[in-house]
Structure 1
Amino acid sequence: MWMMTQNWHDLLFLHWPVDPADIRKHIPVELELDLYDNRAWIGIVLFKARGTRPRFMPPVPGAANFLEANVRTYVRYKNRSGVYFFSLDANSKLAVEIASVGGFLPYRRARMSFDKNEGKILFRSETMKKEGPQEKIALEYRILPQPAVSTELEKWLTERYCLWTKPAHQLLRLDIAHKPWKLKYVQGEISENTMAPYLGKKFKNEKPMAHYAEVKKVRFFPPVIET
């Protein structure tokens, strides 16, 4: 039975192939990197979260609607494939506090803006960390009208229905449910990207694969302890 629901609006996937050795040390030892043609992948995903609420409850004021920018890679545990998050940034203080209780997910507060005007979308995010360099991303893009070709790689990158996290030395799995993606391509430019500096700069020097989805209703299920 699902425990929380949320709508994702104006979601943008950005993906880069990377050397598995560059990220292996940054994921829990229990997880195996999920590779495509012997390459690992880094994803930065930007979207507007709307209508966030627990099951049978109304949205919590201050934590229902926010912007999010997350950095992730793709992993396997036993026979399942899913997502591992390096960071999840949001511009709602309350949403960050709730989601990061007990270190459950690595949420961080950020200054963020989203502007959509005359077919162009501008998205900016900058972390508000107390220590270390701030992580930023800024980009402008336009949605192309034709649907994206649903290739094997595009499905592999986007059709992911669980994530793993490891708070307090315990590996947990969180399952999610939504309908398959209906994606479009975009044209645009990333003007700044200092996200995930610990992963190196090589992947950010290349042009990413980019896909856009207008809206997606998502449901989250209770965490499961992996054994």
Structure 2
Amino acid sequence: MTGGTSQGSEHVEDVTPLSPRPLTRVLFRQWWRELVFLHWAADPDEVARLLPPGTSPDLHLGRTYVGLVFFRMDHLALGRGPALPYLGSFGEVNVRLYSRDALGRRGVVFRSLDCDRLLPVLTARTAFGLPYRWARIRTRRTGAGISYDSVRRDGSGAGARVRAEVSPEPYEANALEEFLTCRWGLHAQLRGRTYYLPNTHPRWTFSRCELTSYDETAIAAAGLRAPREDPVSVLHAPGVPVRFGPPQRLS
């Protein structure tokens, strides 16, 4: 693999349902609502080439994964201030990979983040170097049904879609699903330097989803091979409030 740190050469933090590191300062806050997680196995060598320096693919039983996550962002706020009106609520669809660094911190690396508000897109790209894309996103929740449709406004045709039925019964995540969702920070690169942005939120509650249909073309647009099989995991979560701390430099 061609990523930064080598597997097995450092202590790796446990997978925990709550963040192992309390935040000393809150940089911004937000709510994630009505999440739908789709996951596929991915080639670790392919993933390693897409990660920022100083990180490597995080593995579960020798395998790594790519996630396609749909949700509503609400109540975006800076520090401990009030939520931003209008601009603080939007739909988002992201393609993410799973990483670890030399300090053993597990994280996510976003390959793309589609968003239907232009100002948050421009702000996140400039301030954090995150690969946000302006898109048209439609969301709908009717009874047990949930749907998301995303198409980028750049004319590429890239996007993603999901239709699913949400079970009313709670679901206990298995070890793989905990590995994929219990993530307490992200790794990214800004101006040639890799950083880690920590977050914390309450314990997830999940329901299982029954997929009706989906389109995962955003994964191929993010530089990965398109999945050839159905997802290995499909989950729904009603949502959690999330807090992010200041970025911490790796390199």
Aligned residues: 224
Report the residue type matching 2:150 in the other structure: S
For 1:114 and 1:11, locate their aligned partners in 2 and report how far apart those are by CA, in whole Å.
Answer: 11
Contact 2:38-2:231 at 8 Å conserved across structures: no
Deviations 1:143-185 (A, max 9, x none): 1122222322111111000101101110111000101211110
Q: Any residues of structure 2 matched to 1:141-160 within 5 Å, and which?
A: 141-160=164-183
**Pairing 1:63–2:87 present:** yes
For 1:88 and 1:209, locate their aligned partners in 2 and report how far apart those are by CA, in whole Å.
Answer: 20
For 1:147 and 1:135, locate their aligned partners in 2 and report how far apart those are by CA, in whole Å.
Answer: 33
**Pairing 1:10–2:34 present:** yes
Structure 1 residue 16 displacement after superposition: 0.6
**Pairing 1:38–2:62 present:** yes
User: What are structure 2's unaligned runs of at least 5 residues?
Assistant: 1-24
Structure 1 residue 102 displacement after superposition: 4.8
Contact 2:27-2:79 at 8 Å conserved across structures: yes
For 2:167 and 2:238, locate their aligned partners in 1 and report how far apart those are by CA, in whole Å.
Answer: 12
Alignment partner of 1:121 out of 143, 146, 161? 146
Q: Percent identity among equivalent residues?
A: 28
Contact 1:174-1:220 at 8 Å conserved across structures: yes
Contact 2:72-2:89 at 8 Å conserved across structures: yes
Report the residue type matching 2:112 in the other structure: S
Match of 1:49 in 2: 73
Which runs of at least 4 in structure 1 moved beyond 6 Å after TM superposition? none
Moved more, 157-166 or 92-101: 92-101
User: What are structure 1's unaligned runs of at least 5 residues?
Assistant: none
Match of 2:135 in 1: 110
> What do you get for the CA RMSD once the two structures are aligned?
1.5
Structure 1 residue 103 displacement after superposition: 5.5
**CA shift in 2, pair 1:60/1:175, >3 Å:** same
Structure 1 residue 108 displacement after superposition: 0.9
Alignment partner of 1:136 out of 146, 152, 159? 159
For 1:156 and 1:217, locate their aligned partners in 2 and report how far apart those are by CA, in whole Å.
Answer: 20
For residue 156 of structure 1, give the secondary structure of its aligned residue in structure 2: helix
For 2:189 and 2:107, locate their aligned partners in 1 and report how far apart those are by CA, in whole Å.
Answer: 14
Contact 2:53-2:194 at 8 Å conserved across structures: no
Contact 2:177-2:233 at 8 Å conserved across structures: no
**Pairing 1:194–2:217 present:** yes
